[in-house]
C-alpha cells in the first residue's frame, strides 16, 4: 500500500498543527461557530446529537493491520470501544471530545492516516473497488490512479469551498463494485481501439434528494490527463454550481440544468485554455506510486490448496460461507474473503476495538497484513491462501465475523440514522435489527437469494437506499418517523434507481412490509430470477397490491 | 481613527485603496479623489471616462462576474479585487486562477470581504497577493497562516510544478 515519504508526512503533520491551532482559537472564543464549522468539517468533525461525530479517512478502503490496530487503540482510548464503517470506506466514531480531536489526528499521523476532507464542501475521500488489485476481472489495478488523484485533491487550494461535497470513484473491473454511476465523477479505466489506457469519464451522478445516474462527459481520456481534466470539471462546477439552495448544489443539478452537451462544452473549453502541461502525469510518477501497490510475495499454488474443497464438501456451513463470502482471486491458490460486520443485534458496519485488533491479527496470519473496507460495510481480507480458508472460517465464526450473507438480505447496508446522526429524520438501526431478526434463518435467506436491502435515515442517502433492491428511507411527517419503501434499485454496471411503492409505513410494520415484498417475489419468480429481476419483469404493481391490499392493513402515513 | 490596513506581499501596510459600490452603496458620477476600485459593471459602462482619470482606478468582481469581460483591460489595471460575501463562497478562487493563468493578469490581485486568516494559504496559492481582512480580524496575527504548509501537492499560481515533478527532480539531484 502507499507509504508516505517526507513530503506526505510533513503535510499531514502541518495539517495537525493547523487544526490544533484552529480548535484552540475556537475554544478561546477567537473563532465563531460559523467560522469554525467549515474548518472542522474539512477535518471530518461534525457536532452531533450526543457528541462530535468524527470521520477518519480510509483512502480507497485500504488499511494495513498496523493502521487497524491503531484504530482499535484510538476507539478504545478516545471513544467507547467501537467504530462504524461507512458506505464510503471511512470509519466514524461517535463519542470523542472536541478538545481531544487534535490528539487523535496526531495519533493517526503516526500510522500515515488522517481525516482530511472527510466532510465539508470539498473533494472527499477517493473510493474504488474493495477487490482492487486482486479481482480477476479488472484490466488494471486502479489504486495507483486513485492515489495520484488523492494527492492532487488533498488541500487543493481552488476547490476547498465548493458549492457542495464532491465524490470521485474509480473502477477498473468488468463488474462494477463501486456504485460508480452514483458519484460526482466516476473514472472508469478502459482501453481504446489502439489498446491505450484511459478513462471513460462519468459525471453528475449522486444520491440525495434528487438521485441521478451519471452521464458520460468524455468517452476516452488518456490516463495522463486525469488531473488536468478533473481540474476543468471542478472549475466549471465551482463557478456555475448553485449556491443558493443546499438541495440543488451538487454537480448533478448543474449537469441536468445545462444538459450534458453544454456542460461538456464548458469543460472542454476550460480544458483547452487552462490544461496545465506540468500537471500531466508522468510515467515515472505512475511507476513510483504503482510500486507501492506491487503484488505481494505470493506463493505458487500447491496441492494443499485443494484441501478447502474437500472441507467444503463435508461441511455444509463452511460451504455456505465459501459460496457467499469467498471471492475469486487473480492468483491461483488464493481467494479474497469478506469478514461480515452484519450480525444480529449489532448495527451494520459496527465493529468493536477488540474485533479490529482481531481482524488485524487475521490479516497478518492469513495474508500480507492488509484489510479492505467494502462499501457494503464489511471488511475484506484480500490475499487468503485457499488451504487456510477452513481455519480462517473457524476463527472468524468464533469471533462472529463469518455471517454467510454477502449479497443476501442479511447483508443490510445502513447509515447510523437518528440514534446518532443529527441530520437524520428517522432511526435506522431498530429497523435494520428488526428485519435482521425476521430473516435470521439462513436457509430462508439463501432460498430468497440475492437481495440488497439498504436503509437511509434521511435524504442524504448514506445508506444508499436508492440502489437497494429494496430501499428504505426514513422520513419525517409532522414530527413522527415513517419509512418510505422503494424497489427495483440496483448497483453495478446496470445501476438503476428504485421506484417508490406508495405511502410510507410506521416503524413497527417494516418487517411485515419486507416480508410481503418477498412473499410476492417467491410466488412470482421464474427459475433463476433474482428479486430485482422479478420487479423488472412485473413492475411495481403486484408488490404494491400485496403490501397495501392483501391481509391485515399495515399502519401507514396518510 | 486607525488607518485601514491591508496585507500586501505578506506585510501589513496602510491601505490606500477604496472599494466603491460594495453592498448597497452606489457609485456616483463624481468619484472621490485617490485610488478607487469600481464594480465590473461600472467599469464596463464608464470605461473611457475611468481610463482618463488621473488617480488610479481598479476593478472589483462579484463571485458571479465573468473575469473574461475584463480580459482586454487587464494590462492597464493596477488592481483587480474579488469580493467574498461569505468566506464559504469559493467562486473567487476560480476567478483568481482564470485571471492569473488564463488572462495573464500581473497586477495586484486582492481578496476582500469575509476573508480570514484560515483562508489566506489557499487564497495566496491561487494568485491573490493582497488581502483586506474583515474589519474585526487582525491582519498582523494572520500573517503566520501563510506558513501553514511547507509543501504543496498541486501546481497552482504560486508553484508551477506539482509535487510529483519536484519529487522526481530532487530524486534526480540526489542521484547526482
What pLDDT is recorded for position A554?
81
A510-524 and A531-538 helices cross at what angle (nearest 10)? Answer: 70
Domain range for B45 is 5-149
Over the Cα atoms of chain B, what is R_g? Answer: 18
Q: DSSP letters of A41-70?
A: HTTTEEE-SSSEEEEE--GGGEEEHHHHHH
Together in a domain, A278 and A205: yes
Q: Is residue B158 part of a domain?
A: no
Closest CA to A515 of A427, A464, A439: A439
Q: Is residue A79 part of a domain?
A: no
Strand partners, A380: A338, A372
What pLDDT is recorded for position A463?
96
Grid coordinates representing A169 are 470513484
Q: Is residue B172 part of a domain?
A: no
> Is the confidence at residue A557, as pLDDT, over 80?
no
Which pLDDT band, with edges at 50, 70 and 90, does A313 fall under? confident
The SS3 of residue A521 is: helix
What pLDDT is recorded for position A409?
97
Q: Indicate which CATH number applies to the domain containing A246.
A: 3.30.413.10
Closest-CA distance of chain A to residue B116, Å: 9
Closest-CA distance of chain A to residue B162, Å: 6
* Other Cβ atoms closer than 10 A to A447: 11
Together in a domain, A144 and A209: yes
* Residue that the C-alpha cell 489526528 belongs to: A105
Query: What values do phi and psi take at B97, rounded to 5?
Result: -55, -45
Which pLDDT band, with edges at 50, 70 and 90, does A305 fall under? confident
* Domains contained in chain A, number: 4
What pLDDT is recorded for position B116?
95
Answer whether B94 sits within 8 Å of A239, measured CB to CB. Answer: yes
Q: Is residue B156 part of a domain?
A: no
Q: Is A156 on the interface with B (CB under 8 A)?
A: yes
Answer whether A158 sits within 8 Å of B167, measured CB to CB. Answer: no
> How do residues A38-83 score in pLDDT, each as one tens digit?
999 999 999 866 678 999 999 999 999 999 999 999 999 999 999 9
CA distance A351 to A401: 10
> How do residues B135-146 score in pLDDT, each as one tens digit?
889 999 999 999
The SS3 of residue A51 is: coil
Q: Are B154 and B162 spatial neighbours (Cβ–Cβ below 8 Å)? A: yes
CA distance A465 to A179: 12
Answer whether B90 sits within 8 Å of A238, measured CB to CB. Answer: yes
Q: DSSP letters of chain B?
A: -PPPEEEETTEEEE--EEE-S-TT----SSPPSSEEEEEHHHHHHSHHHHHT-SS-EEEEE-TT--GGGGGGGGGG-SEEEEEESSTT-THHHHHHHIIIIIS---SEEEEEES--HHHHHHHHHTT--EEE--TTS-HHHHGGGGGS-S--SS-BTTBSS-HHHHHHHHHHHHH-
B163-175 and A283-291 helices cross at what angle (nearest 10)? Answer: 80
CA B143 vs. chain centroid, Å, equals 16
Answer whether B118 sits within 8 Å of A284, measured CB to CB. Answer: no
Q: Which residue of A has its CA nearest to B101?
A: A274
The SS3 of residue A157 is: helix
- Dihedral angle of Cα A279, A283, A288, A290, to the nearest 10 degrees: 110
Q: Is residue A27 part of a domain?
A: yes
Question: Which residues 6+ apart lie within 8 Å of B74 measured at CB?
Answer: B80, B99, B103, B104, B105, B107
In chain A, count H helices and then E strands. 18, 20
Q: Is residue B124 part of a domain?
A: yes
Q: What's the pTM value of the predicted model, to 2 decimals? A: 0.96
The SS3 of residue B135 is: coil
CA distance A359 to A381: 9
Q: Which of B88, B151, B162 sits opposite A38 (nearest CB)?
A: B88
Strand partners, A543: none
Angle among Cα A242, A245, A247 to the nearest 5 degrees reads: 100
Average pLDDT over residues B152-163: 96
Together in a domain, A104 and A204: no
Answer whether B162 sits within 8 Å of A282, measured CB to CB. Answer: no
Closest-CA distance of chain B to residue A272, Å: 10
CA distance A258 to A233: 13
Domain range for A22 is 6-60+86-109
Residues in chain B: 176
Residues of B in Cβ contact (< 8 Å) with A7 = 151, 163, 167
Closest CA to A62 of A211, A183, A170: A170
Q: Is A321 on the interface with B (CB under 8 A)?
A: no
Element (H, E) at A223: none
Grid coordinates representing B144 are 503566520
> How do residues A95-151 score in pLDDT, each as one tens digit?
899 999 999 999 999 999 999 999 999 999 999 999 999 999 999 999 999 999 999
> How do residues A465-478 score in pLDDT, each as one tens digit?
999 999 999 999 98
> Is the confidence at residue A324, as pLDDT, over 90?
yes
Alpha helices in chain B (DSSP H): 40-45, 47-51, 91-97, 117-125, 139-142, 163-175
User: Percent of chain A at pLDDT above 70?
Assistant: 99
Dihedral class, residue A474 (left if φ above 0, else alpha if ψ from -120 to 50, else beta)? beta
What pLDDT is recorded for position A223?
98
Residues of A in Cβ contact (< 8 Å) with B170 = none
Q: Indicate which CATH number applies to the domain containing B54.
A: 3.20.20.70
Answer whether A152 sits within 8 Å of B154, measured CB to CB. Answer: yes
* Other Cβ atoms closer than 10 A to A315: 14
Q: Are B11 and B130 spatial neighbours (Cβ–Cβ below 8 Å)? A: no
Together in a domain, A268 and A352: no
> Is the confidence at residue A310, as pLDDT, over 80?
no
Which pLDDT band, with edges at 50, 70 and 90, does B121 fall under? very high
Element (H, E) at A478: none
Together in a domain, A307 and A286: no
Q: Are B53 and B32 spatial neighbours (Cβ–Cβ below 8 Å)? A: no
Together in a domain, A13 and A98: yes
What pLDDT is recorded for position A558?
66
Q: Which of A157, A235, A278 sits opposite B165 (nearest CB)?
A: A278
Q: Is residue B154 part of a domain?
A: no
Answer whether A238 sits within 8 Å of B149, measured CB to CB. Answer: no
Angle among Cα A81, A82, A83 to the nearest 5 degrees reads: 145
Together in a domain, A360 and A429: no
Residues of A in Cβ contact (< 8 Å) with B133 = none
What pLDDT is recorded for position A284?
96
What pLDDT is recorded for position B82?
98
> How do residues A17-32 score in pLDDT, each as one tens digit?
999 999 999 999 999 9
Q: Is A14 on the interface with B (CB under 8 A)?
A: yes
ipTM: 0.97
Q: Is A269 on the interface with B (CB under 8 A)?
A: no
Residues of A in Cβ contact (< 8 Å) with B168 = 282, 284-285, 288
Together in a domain, A540 and A431: yes
Alpha helices in A157-250 (DSSP H): 226-240
Closest-CA distance of chain A to residue B72, Å: 16
> How do residues A396-449 score in pLDDT, each as one tens digit?
999 999 999 999 999 999 999 998 888 899 999 999 999 999 999 999 999 999
Q: Whole-number mean pLDDT of chain B? A: 94
Q: Is A284 on the interface with B (CB under 8 A)?
A: yes
DSSP state of A287: H
Together in a domain, A542 and A464: yes
Q: Is A443 on the interface with B (CB under 8 A)?
A: no
Q: Is residue A18 part of a domain?
A: yes
> Is the confidence at residue B1, as pLDDT, over 60?
no
Closest-CA distance of chain B to residue A37, Å: 10
Closest CA to A93 of A81, A103, A111, A109: A81
What pLDDT is recorded for position A40?
96
> How do residues A167-206 score in pLDDT, each as one tens digit?
999 999 999 999 999 999 999 999 999 999 999 999 999 9
CA distance B171 to A291: 16
What pLDDT is recorded for position A50?
67
Closest-CA distance of chain B to residue A7, Å: 7
- Provide the number of CB pairs (under 8 Å) joining chain A to chain B: 110
Element (H, E) at B15: none
Pairing of strands A326-327, A127-128: unpaired
CA distance A139 to A120: 33
CA distance A47 to A22: 16
> How do residues B30-60 score in pLDDT, each as one tens digit?
999 999 999 999 999 999 999 999 999 999 9
Dihedral class, residue A460 (left if φ above 0, else alpha if ψ from -120 to 50, else beta)? alpha
Q: Is residue B22 part of a domain?
A: yes
Q: Is residue A296 part of a domain?
A: no
Closest-CA distance of chain B to residue A20, Å: 12
CA distance A145 to A505: 44
Q: Hey, which residues 107-166 in chain B have their CB within 8 Å of chain A? A: 116, 118, 121-123, 125-126, 148-156, 160-165
Residues of B in Cβ contact (< 8 Å) with A147 = none
Q: Which residue of B has its CA nearest to A150?
A: B153
What pLDDT is recorded for position B2?
62
* Domains contained in chain B, number: 1
Answer whether B90 sits within 8 Å of A160, measured CB to CB. Answer: yes
Closest-CA distance of chain A to residue B8, Å: 19
Together in a domain, A334 and A444: no
Q: Is A251 on the interface with B (CB under 8 A)?
A: no
Q: Is A24 on the interface with B (CB under 8 A)?
A: no
> How do residues A516-544 score in pLDDT, each as one tens digit?
999 999 999 999 999 999 999 999 999 99
Closest CA to B93 of A292, A158, A84: A158
Closest CA to B55 of B38, B68, B40, B70: B38
Closest-CA distance of chain A to residue B113, Å: 14
DSSP state of B98: I
Which pLDDT band, with edges at 50, 70 and 90, does B168 fall under? confident
Together in a domain, A262 and A187: yes
Together in a domain, A278 and A337: no
Q: Is residue B109 part of a domain?
A: yes
What pLDDT is recorded for position A517?
97
Average pLDDT over residues A368-382: 98
Q: Which residue of B has its CA nearest to A160?
A: B90
Q: Is B51 on the interface with A (CB under 8 A)?
A: no
Tell me which of A157, A159, A230 to substitute to probe the interface with B (most B C-beta atoms closer than 10 Å): A157
Q: Hey, which residues 482-541 in chain A have their CB within 8 Å of chain B? A: none
Amino acid at each position: 500500500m502507499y507509504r508516505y515519504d517526507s513530503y506526505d508526512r510533513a503535510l499531514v503533520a502541518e495539517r495537525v498543527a493547523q487544526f490544533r491551532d484552529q480548535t484552540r482559537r475556537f475554544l478561546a472564543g477567537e473563532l465563531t461557530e460559523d467560522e469554525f464549522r467549515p474548518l472542522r468539517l474539512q477535518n471530518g468533525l461534525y457536532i452531533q446529537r450526543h457528541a462530535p461525530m468524527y470521520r477518519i479517512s480510509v483512502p480507497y478502503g485500504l488499511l494495513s493491520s498496523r493502521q487497524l490496530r491503531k484504530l482499535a487503540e484510538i476507539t478504545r482510548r478516545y471513544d467507547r470501544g467501537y467504530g462504524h464503517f461507512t458506505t464510503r470506506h471511512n470509519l466514524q466514531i461517535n463519542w470523542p471530545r472536541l478538545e481531544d480531536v487534535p490528539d487523535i489526528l496526531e495519533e493517526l499521523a503516526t500510522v500515515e492516516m488522517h481525516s482530511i476532507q472527510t466532510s465539508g464542501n470539498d473533494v472527499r475521500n477517493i473510493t474504488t473497488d474493495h477487490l482492487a488489485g486482486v479481482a480477476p476481472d479488472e484490466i488494471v489495478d486502479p489504486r495507483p490512479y486513485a492515489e495520484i488523484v488523492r494527492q492532487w485533491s488533498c488541500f487543493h487550494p481552488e476547490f476547498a469551498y465548493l458549492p457542495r461535497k464532491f465524490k470521485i470513484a474509480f473502477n477498473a473491473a468488468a463488474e462494477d463494485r463501486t456504485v460508480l454511476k452514483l458519484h460526482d465523477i466516476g473514472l472508469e479505466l478502459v482501453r481504446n481501439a489502439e489498446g491505450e489506457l484511459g478513462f471513460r469519464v462519468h459525471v453528475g451522478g449522486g444520491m440525495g434528494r434528487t438521485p441521478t445516474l451519471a452521464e458520460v462527459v468524455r468517452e476516452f481520456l488518456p490516463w495522463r490527463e486525469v488531473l488536468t481534466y478533473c481540474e476543468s470539471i471542478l472549475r466549471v462546477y465551482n463557478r456555475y454550481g448553485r449556491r443558493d439552495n443546499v438541495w440543488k448544489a451538487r454537480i448533478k443539478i448543474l449537469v441536468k440544468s445545462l444538459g450534458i452537451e453544454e456542460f461538456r462544452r464548458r469543460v472542454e473549453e476550460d480544458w483547452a485554455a487552462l490544461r496545465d502541461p506540468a500537471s500531466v502525469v508522468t510515467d515515472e510518477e505512475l511507476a513510483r506510486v504503482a510500486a507501492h501497490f506491487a503484488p505481494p510475495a505470493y506463493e505458487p499454488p500447491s496441492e494443499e490448496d485443494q484441501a478447502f474443497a474437500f472441507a467444503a464438501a463435508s461441511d455444509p456451513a463452511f460451504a455456505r460461507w465459501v459460496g457467499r463470502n469467498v471471492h475469486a482471486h487473480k492468483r491461483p491458490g488464493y481467494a479474497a474473503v469478506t469478514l461480515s460486520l452484519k450480525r444480529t443485534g449489532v448495527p451494520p458496519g459496527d465493529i468493536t476495538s477488540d474485533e479490529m485488533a482481531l481482524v488485524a491479527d487475521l490479516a497478518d496470519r492469513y495474508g500480507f497484513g492488509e484489510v479492505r473496507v467494502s462499501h457494503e460495510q464489511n471488511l475484506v481480507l484480500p490475499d487468503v491462501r485457499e488451504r487456510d480458508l477452513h481455519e480462517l472460517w473457524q476463527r472468524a465464526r468464533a469471533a462472529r465475523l463469518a455471517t454467510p450473507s454477502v449479497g443476501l438480505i442479511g447483508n443490510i447496508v445502513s447509515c447510523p440514522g437518528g440514534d446518532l446522526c443529527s441530520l437524520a429524520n428517522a432511526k435506522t438501526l431498530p429497523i435494520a435489527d428488526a428485519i435482521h431478526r425476521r430473516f435470521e434463518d439462513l436457509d430462508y435467506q439463501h432460498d430468497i437469494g440475492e437481495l440488497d436491502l439498504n436503509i437511509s435515515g434521511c435524504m442524504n442517502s448514506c445508506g444508499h437506499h436508492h440502489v437497494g433492491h429494496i430501499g428504505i428511507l426514513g422520513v419525517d411527517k409532522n414530527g413522527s418517523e415513517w419509512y418510505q419503501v422503494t424497489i427495483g434499485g440496483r448497483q453495478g454496471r446496470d445501476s438503476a434507481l428504485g421506484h417508490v411503492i406508495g405511502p410510507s409505513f410506521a416503524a413497527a410494520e417494516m418487517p411485515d412490509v419486507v416480508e410481503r415484498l418477498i412473499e410476492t417475489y417467491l410466488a412470482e419468480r421464474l427459475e433463476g430470477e433474482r428479486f430485482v429481476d422479478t420487479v423488472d419483469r412485473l413492475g411495481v404493481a403486484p408488490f404494491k397490491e400485496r403490501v397495501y391490499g392483501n391481509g391485515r392493513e399495515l399502519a401507514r402515513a396518510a | 481613527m486607525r488607518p485601514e490596513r491591508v496585507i500586501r506581499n505578506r506585510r501589513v501596510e496602510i491601505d490606500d485603496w477604496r472599494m466603491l459600490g460594495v453592498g448597497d452603496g452606489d457609485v456616483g458620477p463624481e468619484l472621490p479623489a485617490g485610488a478607487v476600485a469600481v464594480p465590473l459593471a461600472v467599469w464596463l459602462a464608464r470605461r473611457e471616462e475611468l481610463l482618463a482619470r488621473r488617480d488610479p482606478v481598479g476593478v472589483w468582481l462579484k463571485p458571479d462576474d465573468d473575469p473574461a469581460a475584463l480580459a482586454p483591460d487587464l494590462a492597464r489595471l493596477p488592481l483587480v479585487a474579488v469580493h467574498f460575501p461569505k468566506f464559504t463562497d469559493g467562486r473567487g478562487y476560480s476567478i483568481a486562477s482564470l485571471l492569473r493563468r488564463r488572462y495573464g493578469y500581473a497586477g495586484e490581485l486582492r481578496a476582500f470581504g469575509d476573508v480570514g486568516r484560515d483562508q489566506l494559504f489557499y487564497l495566496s496559492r491561487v494568485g491573490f497577493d493582497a488581502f483586506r481582512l474583515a474589519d474585526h480580524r487582525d491582519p498582523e496575527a494572520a500573517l503566520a497562516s501563510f506558513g501553514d504548509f511547507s509543501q504543496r501537492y498541486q501546481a497552482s499560481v504560486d508553484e508551477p510544478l506539482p509535487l510529483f515533478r519536484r519529487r522526481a527532480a530532487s530524486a534526480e539531484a540526489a542521484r547526482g
